[in-house]
Amino acid sequence: MAKTYKQIFGLQRVRQIRPDSLFGSELIGLYTVLEKFMYKKYEASEIQNELSRVFHKQSKYWGQFISIHSTIGALRINEENTIVNIPVLEYANSEYNMGNQKPAEILLNYLLSEFQFPHPGLTSSKSETKTGQKLRYFKVVKPYISILSILNGLYENDRKECYLTHEEIYFIDKENESSEGEYLQINNTNKVIENILEQRGNKDYYSHEINTVVLKEIKNINGYLKGFLNNSVFLNFDKPSLEIPRGQFFCSLNFDIKNLFTEINSLINSSLSHYEFDPSISHNDRELKYYYSTYLLDENKINAFLTNLSTFDSNDFFISSGPNIKIQDFDKKKYDKYRVEYLLDKMESTDTTRRSKGRLEQQLLRKFYLYGKEHENCSICHDLFPITSLTIAHIKKRTHASDEERTDPNIVMPACYLGCDHLYEKGYLIAEDGKFKFNKKLDFEKYKLTDVIKSRIKIIDGNECINWENSRKYFESHRQLHQTN
């Protein structure tokens, strides 16, 4: 039974999410490590190396790094694989490091209020319950908001009932799992409270339902939830003087907060929305993660959170970049191009058969220039063509190219089937000083000039080579090949 208790609202069993684990106290914070890579190309291995350096070769930090940053949307990578800076986090981190912990504390309270399950970037599409239900397809719940709502309701019922035990956390998590998220919907809170009170009314409940070994495991797993919930100013984890079975207490409310119930209710009411996502899209999808990050760490949302609650002073959270920072849209086309480039690069070092390599390489190069397009200009005559009338022409002959050159997108160019591909390949045209020119040293014995060829060359002669700088060495190689006589 205990072994089936794995889901605690999808929270990863990693280092707890707290200001000091993120921004650092005695240890360097995980976000501080990420900041070192800001504006750079995302390379997992480089970050892994840095983590082992900082944490003395403890490789487990990589899992923590990824999980924690995914939970709070901190690892935002754009379409060009560059790590994007997030001003809110930068601000909280720099304040924290200067000894002002307030912004980090407020931020963690805000993140708790947004904490949702399933999580778009963490709940894997493969993860399922024992009965085969797919967690990613569950109705979204906000565990922290639900817990506040339950405690609020328990208090209304009887002040002495305002607490939750480890076993009750276990129970609501299980119920939520078997109902695929229906159980912890806010409008079902009364039902949850009814169930809890019913169990408490059963005097034998704690003694027969769960033995001490199982309880130990439950408490252990609840520790990860507690680690995150601990950031809440509204919850209290010190056992109050209530008659709760020994070792069972999980949490209650923090009665030191001014206007506690008004505050809790306004938090509940303003936290009813969540991030809608298509569960068929992988949790690793970079575009989804990018948009979740921009949704979660939206400065306007944090400002609204501060405005709704009087517990936090908005003067304690000042975002210097202003409330309307423009976040660029994720450029899918650029991303596809990047991925093709990455695959080409990877292909260079992989050991596939020569034939399949050549075919794959040709497909990837075509994708690099034409993917997702209907039309493109011919690089030589500059006329617009449907992509079916364009080929990916080699600037330098493929057979003369090294393995490394073959996977360089600059070795090819889109050229039209209506003459340009042929005229360039046979050497009627060469490129020199950034321009296409008639090749005066052509082997005229072999390649005859007729009027139609002459007039076609005349049109092209002097056209610019758009990608000249990057493709220069390949154009040179082609020119030398056709001008050796």
Q: Quote the least distance from Cβ 422 to Zn ion, whole Å.
A: 10
Rounded Cα distance between 212 and 125, Å, is: 34
**Residues in CB range of 199: below 8 A, 6 or more apart:** 168, 171, 205
Residue 164's φ and ψ, nearest 5 degrees, are -130, 140
The piece of 148-156, 169-177, 255-263, 376-384 that touches Zn ion (CB under 5 A) is: 376-384
Binding region for Zn ion (CB under 5 A) out of 22-30, 274-282, 321-329, 381-389: 381-389
From 255-263, 277-285, 304-312, 374-382, give the range in contact with Zn ion by CB under 5 A: 374-382
Q: State the DSSP string of 25-85.
A: SSSBPHHHHHHTTTTSB--HHHHHHHHHHHTTS-TTHHHHHHHHHHHTT---B-TTSBBPP
Comparing CB distances to Zn ion, the nearer of 148 and 381 is 381
In the complex with Zn ion, the residue whose CB is nearer, 9 or 369, is 369
Kindly state the smallest distance separating residue 137's Cβ from Zn ion, in Å. 50
Residue 218 engages Zn ion in binding (rule: CB under 5 A): no
For 249, the enclosing helix (H) or strand (E) is strand 249-253
Q: Which is nearer to Zn ion, 380 or 442 (CB)?
A: 380
Site string for Zn ion, 332-371 (x = CB under 5 A): ----------------------------------------
Residue environment code for 232-256, b if the CB has 16+ CB neighbours within 10 A, otherwise e: bbbbbeeeeeeebeeebbbbbbeee
Write down the H helix ranges in 408-450. 420-425
Q: How far is the CB of 307 from Zn ion (least distance, A)?
A: 59
Residue 18 · residue 108 · CB < 8 Å: yes
CB of 292 to Zn ion, least distance (A): 43
Q: Which lies closer to Zn ion via its Cβ, residue 235 or residue 416? A: 416
- The distance of closest approach from Cβ of residue 368 to Zn ion in the complex, given in angstroms and rounded to an integer, is 19
Q: How far is the CB of 271 from Zn ion (least distance, A)?
A: 58
- Applying CB under 5 A, the site for Zn ion has a residue count of 5
Which of 199/467 has CB closer to Zn ion? 467
Six-digit token string for 252: 């209650």
Contact residue for Zn ion among 378, 392, 393, 431 (CB under 5 A): 378
Quote the CA–CA distance of 93 and 99 in Å, as a whole number: 10
φ and ψ of 165, to 5 deg: -100, 165
Rounded least distance, CB 386 to Zn ion, Å = 13
Nearer Cβ to Zn ion (215/420): 420
Q: How far is the CB of 361 from Zn ion (least distance, A)?
A: 23
Asked if 11 touches Zn ion (CB under 5 A), the answer is: no
381 binds Zn ion per the rule CB under 5 A:
yes
Q: What character string, x for contact with Zn ion (CB under 5 A) and - otherwise, covers 403-432?
A: -------------x---x------------
Span from 168-176, 235-243, 372-380, 471-479 in contact with Zn ion (CB under 5 A): 372-380
- Shorter beta-carbon distance to Zn ion: residue 251 or 423: 423
Question: What's the one-letter identity of residue 73?
Answer: G
Q: Token pair for residue 380?
A: 């030589």
Distance in Å, CB of 405 to Zn ion, minimum: 24
Q: Which is nearer to Zn ion, 150 or 415 (CB)?
A: 415
| Residue 484 near residue 454 (C-beta atoms within 8 A) | no
Nearest residue to 52 (alpha-carbon basis) of 14, 44, 18: 44
3-state secondary structure of 335: helix
Please identify, using beta-carbon distances, which residue of 248 and 377 lies nearer to Zn ion.
377
Q: List the interface residues with Zn ion, window 442-471 (CB under 5 A).
A: none
Stretch that binds Zn ion, among 92-100, 159-167, 377-385, 401-409 (CB under 5 A): 377-385
What minimum distance in Å lies between the beta carbon of 383 and Zn ion?
A: 6
Q: Which of 225, 116, 117 is nearest to 177 (CA)?
A: 117
CB 88 within 8 Å of CB 322: no
**Token couple for 66:** 């990824």
Order across the sheet with 235-236: list the strands: 163-165, 249-253, 235-236
Name the minimum Å distance from CB 391 to Zn ion: 10
* Nearest of 195, 281, 207 to residue 248 by alpha carbon: 207
| Rounded Cα–Cα distance for residues 143 and 270 (Å) | 15
Closer CB to Zn ion, 359 or 454, in the complex: 454
Token representation of residue 202: 């059963």
CB of 231 or CB of 379, closer to Zn ion: 379
Q: Which residues contact 319 (CB under 8 A, 6 or more apart)?
A: 87, 88, 91, 299, 302, 303
- What does the alpha-carbon distance between residue 62 and residue 50 come to, in Å, rounded to a whole number? 10
Residue number with CB closer to Zn ion (268 or 420): 420
Least distance in angstroms from the C-beta of 385 to Zn ion: 7
* Of residues 253 and 380, the one with the C-beta less far from Zn ion: 380
Minimum distance from residue 416 beta carbon to Zn ion (Å): 3
Single out the segment in contact with Zn ion by CB under 5 A; choices: 32-40, 49-57, 263-271, 379-387: 379-387
Q: Kindly list the residues in this chain that would bind Zn ion in the complex (CB under 5 A).
A: 378, 380-381, 416, 420
